[in-house]
Homo-oligomer: A and B are copies of this chain.
Amino acid sequence: MSQIFFFKKNKSKLLDIFPNLKLKNNFFINSVKPLNIADKYDVTFLESTKYIHDAKHTKAILCITTKKLENYLPKKVDKIIVQNVLYEIARVLKKLYPSADVDTPDLSLSKPKVTEFKGVKFGNNVLVGNKVKIGKNSIIGANSIIEQKVLIGENCIIGSGCIIKNALIGNNVVIQDNCKIGQKGFGFIPLKNKNLKFPHIGRVIINNDSEIASGCTIDRGSINDTIIGSNTYLDNQVHVAHNVQIGSNCMVAGQVGFAGSSIIGNNVQIGGQAGISGHLTIGDNVKIGGGSGVVKNIEDNQTVMGYPAESIKIFLKKNKKNE
């Protein structure tokens, strides 16, 4: 699905943004995308050796990177060599999507018209933005806000006091009271006295049959999407940062926090108050004990615990040794 949530300036050419570069190709930029999904007219970027596999196979013809990393990219790719890759990407994004760096409240909100939402029930004072679509047999609780262009499937129950924006929600999804979904994540380039806010053009995608309990916050992606898999249940006060992808059939207990860009497998169980650091890969069928702090990737089928989290066997052994 193409980007629908953010206004995009369609006529930005590469040399408008990088006027001093000598490039083989000057073109109208389509969008900014990560290496693995970037296409011919996208701007992509390589900022860490974590992504050198994607670099090798990218379809992009232009990549922003550093002196140190440029040799991981194919020869045919034009490189823009910079000091701070994310700063330049933020700059490109701001040019293309001038309003994606701040969550301006949706001022198009109004009471839903019965004729537009057949088979949908609304509580009191619900507000919906332009072009919202909601499937039949769904219910939206009182005081909830569904901002423009959000799509909600059939048989969904959205509680009261929820705020949903920049999100695509499947069928049979339950979202309990007071969840905040789709807001900008915690992304910015730290600059003394005036940080540069990183535009967030990603979305939140919540797949079928999921349940999100009260008071959760799920930030939209910065460049990728934030994804909750099908039949995955989140308990109260869970915090899901931008670009996190959680698989199917997962169980996430109360007050768990996911830092940005981690990828969680299927059938993963996470105990209350655990924290998952950013940019990690957690395998399928992993169990993470309550209160643990996960700072490294975890292979499939592992059970971990502690801070930093380690195999439960080692954790219990250490605890014994210390007695």
A residues with a Cβ closer than 8 A to B are 102-107, 109-110, 121, 123-125, 127, 139-143, 145, 157-161, 163, 174, 176-178, 180, 183-184, 186, 188, 190, 192-195, 197, 209, 211, 213-215, 217, 219, 230-231, 233, 235-237, 239, 241, 248-249, 251, 253-255, 257, 259, 272-273, 275, 277, 290-291, 293, 295, 306-308, 314, 318-319, 321-323
Contact = CB atoms under 8 A, between A and B. Distances in A.
Given A177-B163, A195-B231, A290 B293 contact: yes
A323 B322 CA distance: 12
A174 B319 CA distance: 42
With most chain B CB atoms within 10 A of its CB, the pick from A106, A142, A251, A318 is A142
A180 B106 contact: no
B236 A186 contact: yes
A237 B273 CA distance: 12
B254 A272 contact: no
B319 A291 contact: no
A183 B233 contact: no
A249 B193 contact: yes
Copies of this chain in its oligomeric complex: 3
Given A163-B177, A237-B237, A259-B290, A127 B142 contact: yes
Contact of A254 (B102, B214, B215, B239): B239
A109 B127 contact: no
A272 B272 contact: no
Contact of A142 (B145, B180, B273): B145
A142 B163 CA distance: 10
13 contacts: A103-B174, A105-B157, A125-B143, A142-B145, A143-B143, A186-B233, A215-B215, A219-B236, A239-B255, A254-B259, A306-B307, A308-B319, A318-B322
